[in-house]
Structure 1
Amino acid sequence: MAEENFETGDAGASQTFPQQCSSLRKNGYVCMKNRACKIVEMSTSKTGKHGHAKVHLVGIDLFSGKKHEDICPSTHNMLVPHVKRKDYLLVEIENDGSLSLMEDDGHLKTDLNCPNNELGKEIKDRYENGEVLTLTVMTAMDEEQVVGYKLDNK
């Protein structure tokens, strides 16, 4: 019999859950083209001759920033990603751009890279100036990325 690990507590939960299209809201999350997206626009058409009102969704990919659109009958289900945000203390930025982040319990997380955008440039500049930063990491559908930072004024 294989040894089980119960420390995570997620019970192998799915990365998504179904939700009726009519109950989705702007600024919420939805899966479009198998990508986790934030809903930025939403409109509902009137019931047509076939009996379904249609919901037009426009979403921005959480990790690439690409725009996605979809139309779905309001009574049908769409998949919604489980999105988590967690803060980590920035310990070090390596020469190759990889990050060393510390969790609240003292464990090191070393599997993320600094973003290749304005946010990443700001983080590197502030780190090189000796500022203490807390980075916010967003996780959804087996992807994670640094999405923001705060200054620690201690």
Structure 2
Amino acid sequence: MADLDGDFESAESGASETYPQQCSALRKNGHVMLKGHACKIVEMSTSKTGKHGHAKVHLTGIDIFSGSKHEDICPSTHNMDVPNVCRKEYQLNNIDDGYMSLMDENGEQREDLKVPANDLGREITKKFDNGETFNVTVLKAVGNEAVIGIKCQTS
């Protein structure tokens, strides 16, 4: 009988960060894991079956967090990992020491996301400094989170 009294340092919710999908079922503007990066598919092409083999799918994707380009080739009948991508909007309440104070629609607060170090981050800071009220869109996948957009609030 196995000893089940082991120490568990962390517990997962049971939801996997990725799920398998047949390569031929992937579509442009969908998401896929390319070389360990969560990517949005920007280009797909399928080669014909050869004398001894499967049709191959050539995928080109842009990393949803860094913007870098990744490519991969996979037989159309094989499975590829697809990231579970979650998009959520938060109201920006404050910026303190480079971190954003955010509130979701349920009133839950979080202060663990940094202002992005890019043009979007500069736009967020400028709008906040001007006293504007707006939401930020946060994308979450495979353990990463990033602010990807701004949305003006409509009252």
Shared fold, TM over 0.5: yes
Q: Match for residue 4 of structure 1?
A: none
Listed as ranges, the matches of 1:72-83 within 5 Å are: 72-83=74-85
Aligned equivalents of 2:153 and 2:32: distance in 1?
33
**One-letter amino acid of the structure 2 residue matched with residue 16 of structure 1:** T
Match 2:63 to one of 61, 79, 82: 61
**One-letter amino acid of the structure 2 residue matched with residue 18 of structure 1:** P
Aligned equivalents of 2:15 and 2:154: distance in 1?
37
What is the deviation of 1:153? 4.0
SS in 1 for 2:49: coil
- Percent of aligned positions with the same letter in both sequences? 61
CA displacement 1:77-136 (0-9 Å, x = unmatched) = 000000010000000011x31110011121211110111111111111111000001010
Per the normalisation by structure 2, the TM-score is: 0.90
**One-letter amino acid of the structure 2 residue matched with residue 20 of structure 1:** Q
Unaligned 5+ runs, structure 2? 6-11
Q: Match for residue 38 of structure 2?
A: 36
Match 1:90 to one of 85, 89, 92: 92
Per the normalisation by structure 1, the TM-score is: 0.90
Measured on the aligned residues, the alpha-carbon RMSD in Å equals 1.5
SS in 1 for 2:113: strand
Superposition misfits of 4+ residues, deviation over 2 angstroms: none
Aligned equivalents of 1:35 and 1:88: distance in 2?
25
Listed as ranges, the matches of 1:1-154 within 5 Å are: 11-94=13-96, 96-154=97-155
Aligned equivalents of 2:142 and 2:112: distance in 1?
16
CA displacement 1:18-42 (0-9 Å, x = unmatched) = 0000010000000011110000000
Aligned residues: 146
